[in-house]
């Protein structure tokens, strides 16, 4: 029998005077998932599975062998909650979230230091999601901490070759990223296959941004707006007549466009000396920022909860993420609605929602398929859904596994000089390492990274790329050097470092026997590390 939603609402809406973390959503998550099926549900993950998973999801890298072993050997009952809370306060949490949201929001369109500074500031300060979105759609160039948010708009307004400015693409992405609606096919007519998506919805979004432009008077991303004087006129290829709309979000009221006497459209006139554009009295982006990220906008709340769930669970309750409509229903609609309402009620606190999902038994289930689970579908969440590691997670995890972090030079130190021989070698700085991993593992620009997509270039990067092979060379205190000090028992420290678990007896026997039997022990150790780094088990968050 399915549990009553009203009961869970009552459970959730406990005293508002309690600290945010004291109001628990994770029991509700588990009750809703379990009530939706009468089939077997996977048992909890092993400690090895959990410690690797939670490190990847909260700080973007696998644990060190010492961190993994310490957690596995810890016998305290509350150790999982303790670790979750510890990692949420870790400095690497903001780095992980900055990287993940950069991929989600910009889809590999490029890099910008001011945009990165905005993301870092937001996640270091646990800035609310509604405030982040407001900054992205109506940037304040006077605020040095958040003005980089304009990159979300400016990058999409850049011209490519002889193509016109892609205003339709920007309108589409605002719908996709913040409302969960891909309205691209409703630009010229009502959507042919999705009854919920109307041409008026697309054109209403388009009317917010079609008079915007990239400012050229700043050395940071900045957006300007031409005066909007009339409604946006549009035609349908299937219906006769001309239609018009002012700025309008799907499901909300159209924003009226005020009339101004010619010459009085600007609150701040253009400055010819500084080349600063004028600031119009009516700016549709201001209204977008006021109406889009609000508790009253159910589509915004549902999309936000769904995307954070995807970040942790590897699949959205609505999937694909940007196709929220009645013909693509949520796998667990009551749960999604409840999470959306709870997220909004908790002032769009991303860290709170991430913590509640991580504390759930649903998140902590094993991904191992055992008897009764061979028919489990990802949308059921009866076991944990394996998900690909991002290029950034792979980079940080390989650096961690090989013990190479301490050997990455600080290339920001301009006083550091290199010999001619060093300059001819493989670039060692973190920015070069990141570029190599993005080239090998990241999707092409504008392609969402939501599915596991192995590639030849990624395989070749691990199999014989100079970057990874260089990290296998013995250096002070790296994994290779530590294994070289052993006479036997290589497998356990090797597996803990690379796979965050202890080997089975069969695995231990094979790896120990192989290394011990080789005359060149150093080469055998490097080959053993390489074999685990190249495995599917390493490349997937499971």
Q: Tens of pLDDT along the chain (542 residues)?
A: 344 444 444 444 443 334 444 469 999 999 999 999 999 999 999 999 999 999 999 999 999 999 999 999 999 999 999 999 999 999 999 999 999 999 999 999 999 999 999 999 999 999 999 999 999 999 999 999 999 999 999 999 999 888 899 999 999 999 999 999 999 999 999 999 999 999 999 999 999 999 999 999 999 999 999 999 999 999 999 999 999 999 999 999 999 999 999 889 999 999 988 889 999 999 999 999 999 999 999 999 999 999 999 999 999 999 999 999 999 999 999 999 999 999 999 999 999 999 999 999 999 999 999 999 999 999 999 999 999 999 999 999 999 999 998 888 876 544 444 444 444 466 778 999 999 999 999 999 999 998 878 888 999 999 889 999 999 999 999 999 999 999 999 999 999 999 999 999 999 999 999 999 999 999 999 999 999 999 999 999 99
Burial class (CB within 10 angstroms; exposed 0-12, middle 13-18, buried 19+) of 19 = exposed
How does strand 279-280 pair with strand 266-268?
antiparallel
For residue 2, the model assigns a pLDDT of 43
- Write down the pLDDT at residue 411: 62
- Does the reported pTM lie above 0.85? yes
Q: Which of 500, 542, 504 is nearest to 397 (CA)?
A: 500
The reply to whether omega before 489 is within 30° of 0 (cis) is no
Q: What is the pLDDT of residue 406?
A: 87
For the record, the structure tokens of 482 come out as: 């530590």
Write down the pLDDT at residue 106.
98
pLDDT score recorded for residue 120? 98
Show Cβ contacts of residue 87 under 8 Å, excluding neighbours closer than 6 positions.
Answer: 54, 55, 58, 59, 93
Query: Token pair of 440, please?
Result: 């090998």
Who contacts 169 (Cβ-Cβ below 8 Å, separation ≥6)?
A: 156
Residues 6+ apart with CB under 8 A from 101: 119, 123
Secondary structure, 3-state, 375-401: CCCHHHCCCCCCEECCHHHHHHHHHHH
Give the pLDDT confidence of 263-314 residue by residue, as tens digits. Answer: 899 999 999 888 899 999 999 999 999 999 999 999 999 999 999 999 999 9
pLDDT at position 464: 87
Q: CA gyration radius for the chain?
A: 26
CA–CA gap between residue 188 and residue 200 (Å, rounded): 9
Among 13, 57, 2, CA closest to 35:
2
Hey, what are 138's tokens? 């109506």
Give the model's pLDDT for residue 6. Answer: 43
Q: Is the dihedral of CA 59, 181, 195, 343 positive or negative?
A: positive
pLDDT 10s digits, 478-491:
999 999 999 999 99
Q: Pick the closest to residue 214 from 203, 223, 227 (CA basis).
A: 223
pLDDT score for 5: 45
């Amino acid at each position: 029998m399915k549990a009553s939603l009203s009961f869970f609402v009552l459970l959730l809406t406990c005293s508002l005077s309690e600290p945010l973390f004291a109001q628990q959503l994770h029991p509700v998550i588990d009750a809703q998932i379990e009530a939706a099926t009468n089939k077997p549900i996977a048992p909890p993950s092993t400690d090895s599975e959990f410690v690797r998973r939670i490190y990847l999801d909260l700080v973007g890298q696998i644990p060190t062998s010492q961190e993994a072993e310490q957690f596995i050997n810890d016998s305290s009952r509350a150790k999982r909650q303790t670790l979750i809370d510890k990692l949420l306060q870790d400095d690497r949490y903001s780095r992980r979230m900055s990287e993940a949201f950069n991929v989600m929001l910009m889809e590999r369109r490029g890099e910008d230091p001011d945009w990165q500074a905005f993301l870092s500031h937001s996640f270091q300060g646990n800035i609310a999601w509604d405030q982040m979105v407001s900054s992205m759609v109506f940037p304040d160039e006077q605020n040095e901490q958040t003005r980089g948010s304009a990159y979300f708009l400016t990058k999409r307004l850049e011209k490519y070759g002889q193509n016109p400015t892609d205003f339709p693409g920007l309108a589409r992405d605002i719908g996709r990223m913040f409302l969960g609606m891909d309205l691209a096919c409703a630009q010229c007519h009502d959507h042919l296959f999705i009854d919920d998506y109307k041409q008026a919805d697309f054109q209403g979004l388009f009317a917010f941004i079609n008079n915007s432009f990239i400012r050229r008077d700043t050395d940071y991303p900045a957006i300007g707006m031409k005066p909007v004087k009339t409604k946006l006129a549009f035609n349908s290829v299937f219906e006769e007549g001309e239609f018009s709309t002012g700025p309008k979000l799907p499901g909300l009221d159209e924003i009226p466009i005020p009339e101004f006497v010619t010459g009085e459209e600007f609150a701040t006139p253009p400055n010819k000396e500084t080349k600063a554009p004028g600031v119009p009295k009516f700016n549709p982006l201001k209204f977008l920022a006021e109406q889009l990220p609000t508790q009253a906008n159910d589509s915004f709340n549902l999309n936000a909860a769904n995307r954070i769930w995807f970040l942790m669970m590897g699949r959205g309750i609505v999937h694909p993420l940007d196709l929220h409509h009645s013909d693509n229903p949520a796998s667990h609609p009551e749960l999604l609605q409840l999470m959306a309402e709870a997220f909004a009620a908790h002032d769009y606190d991303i860290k709170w929602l991430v913590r509640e999902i991580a504390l759930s038994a649903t998140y902590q289930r094993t991904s191992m398929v055992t008897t009764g689970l061979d028919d489990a579908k990802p949308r059921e969440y009866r076991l944990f859904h394996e998900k690909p590691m991002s290029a950034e997670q792979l980079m940080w995890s390989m650096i961690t596994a090989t013990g190479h972090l301490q050997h990455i030079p600080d290339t920001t130190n301009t006083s550091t000089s290199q010999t001619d021989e060093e300059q001819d070698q493989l670039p060692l700085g973190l920015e070069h390492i990141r570029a190599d991993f993005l080239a090998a593992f990241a999707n092409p620009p504008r392609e969402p990274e939501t599915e596991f997509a192995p590639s030849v270039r990624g395989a070749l990067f691990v199999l014989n790329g100079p970057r990874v092979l260089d990290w296998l060379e013995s250096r002070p205190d790296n994994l290779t050097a530590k294994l070289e000090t052993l006479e036997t028992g290589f497998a356990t420290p090797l597996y803990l470092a690379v796979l965050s678990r202890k080997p089975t007896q069969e695995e231990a026997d094979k790896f120990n026997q192989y290394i011990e039997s080789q005359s060149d022990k150093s080469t055998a150790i490097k080959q053993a590390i390489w074999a685990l780094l190249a495995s599917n088990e390493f490349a997937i968050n499971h």
